[in-house]
């Protein structure tokens, strides 16, 4: 029985694909990859007889039609998507036609560009007593935001914000963040093509200088914008430490020093 797999190719570096994704590529009879965002190198594990096509010029109907057609010819068909298929990946729009056609499908998660971006900059999305919340979102452009999800409303939480698909709306981002109560000196991280070999660009900026810094770096597409009170923590002289490794903290795998001394 044939099966169509939606595989997350990760943020760019082919080596960041999961082992399961790599193994599926190796046995696939047909692969449709998102060429505008996914490197062709991500298909390097495919067999010589595998049919490989680029979907960057296709409509949604053409993509799903291709997947249905190849599922009639091959046991394993792959739709290779950037990052993780469940995040801004039109996953449900593609799965529904497969369901109607009676074709089985599955999803293999991938590394998101949000995680790859903070990894590239050696930053952390969360810190004890600083923020424990991460919001993955985008700024309203051609796709409207649902009520209550505009950037001003989300930014008022003062937690970590990972902004996808929003690099062309920097001036709106600056305005919305300031309206939400962020200081103009607040740090911002922008990473263009996170993990892409020889193409990754890291910009460390502030809300006030964000537009000018991105223009100077010529970043116009494929960029993750991270706004967070955790940015720059590597240089802080005072840092709240995690309780997980605290010698005075007990959990089910380790007793605190105090309890150990009582037992002895």
pLDDT digits (tens, 9 = 90+) for 169-215: 999 999 999 999 999 999 999 999 999 988 999 999 999 999 999 99
Q: 177 with 159: CB under 8 angstroms?
A: no
Residues 6 or more apart whose CB falls under 8 angstroms from that of 5 comprise 24, 28, 76, 77, 78, 79, 105, 106, 107, 108
Q: Identify any residues that bridge with 7 across adjacent strands, giving them in sequence order.
A: 80, 108
Q: Categorise residue 193: left if φ over 0, alpha if ψ from -120 to 50, beta otherwise.
A: left
Mean per-residue pLDDT, 56-70: 97
Mean per-residue pLDDT, 140-155: 91
How far is the C-alpha of 21 from the C-alpha of 10, rounded, in Å? Answer: 10
Residues 6 or more apart whose CB falls under 8 angstroms from that of 37 comprise 81, 82, 222
Q: How far apart are the first and last CA of the chain?
A: 62
Give pLDDT tens digits for 224-252: 999 999 999 999 988 877 766 666 666 66
Mean per-residue pLDDT, 107-131: 97
pLDDT at 253 over 70: no
pLDDT at 142 over 90: no
Tokens for 112, please give them. Answer: 């998101």
Half-sphere exposure of 194 (CA within 13 A, CB side): 27
Mean per-residue pLDDT, 71-80: 97
- What pLDDT does residue 36 have? 79
- Predicted TM-score (pTM) of the model is 0.89
Mean per-residue pLDDT, 38-47: 86
* Domains, the chain, with CATH or none: 3-108 (3.40.1010.10), 113-235 (3.30.950.10)
How far is the C-alpha of 15 from the C-alpha of 37, rounded, in Å? Answer: 16
pLDDT at 255 over 70: no
- What pLDDT does residue 7 have? 97
């Amino acid at each position: 029985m044939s099966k169509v797999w939606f595989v997350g190719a990760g943020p760019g570096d082919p080596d960041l694909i999961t082992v399961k994704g790599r193994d599926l590529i190796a046995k696939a009879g047909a692969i449709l990859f998102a060429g505008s965002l996914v490197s062709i190198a991500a298909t390097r594990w495919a067999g010589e007889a595998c049919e490989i096509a680029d979907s960057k010029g296709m409509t949604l109907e053409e993509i799903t039609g291709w997947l249905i057609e190849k599922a009639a010819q091959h046991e394993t068909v792959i739709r290779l998507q950037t990052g993780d298929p469940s995040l801004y990946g039109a996953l449900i729009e593609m799965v529904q036609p497969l369901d109607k056609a009676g074709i089985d499908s599955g999803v293999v998660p991938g590394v998101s560009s949000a995680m790859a971006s903070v990894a590239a900059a050696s930053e952390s999305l969360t810190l004890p007593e600083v923020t424990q919340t991460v919001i993955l979102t985008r700024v309203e452009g051609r796709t409207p935001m649902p009520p209550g999800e505009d950037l001003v409303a989300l930014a008022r939480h003062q937690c970590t914000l990972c902004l996808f698909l929003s690099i062309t709306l920097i001036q709106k981002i600056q305005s919305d963040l300031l309206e939400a109560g962020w200081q103009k000196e607040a740090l911002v991280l922008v990473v263009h093509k996170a993990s892409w070999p020889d193409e990754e660009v890291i910009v460390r900026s502030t809300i006030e200088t964000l537009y000018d810094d991105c223009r100077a770096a010529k970043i116009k597409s494929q960029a993750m914008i991270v706004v967070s009170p955790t940015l720059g923590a590597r240089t802080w002289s005072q840092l709240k430490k995690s309780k997980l490794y605290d010698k005075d903290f007990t959990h089910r795998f380790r007793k605190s020093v105090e309890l150990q001394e009582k037992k002895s």
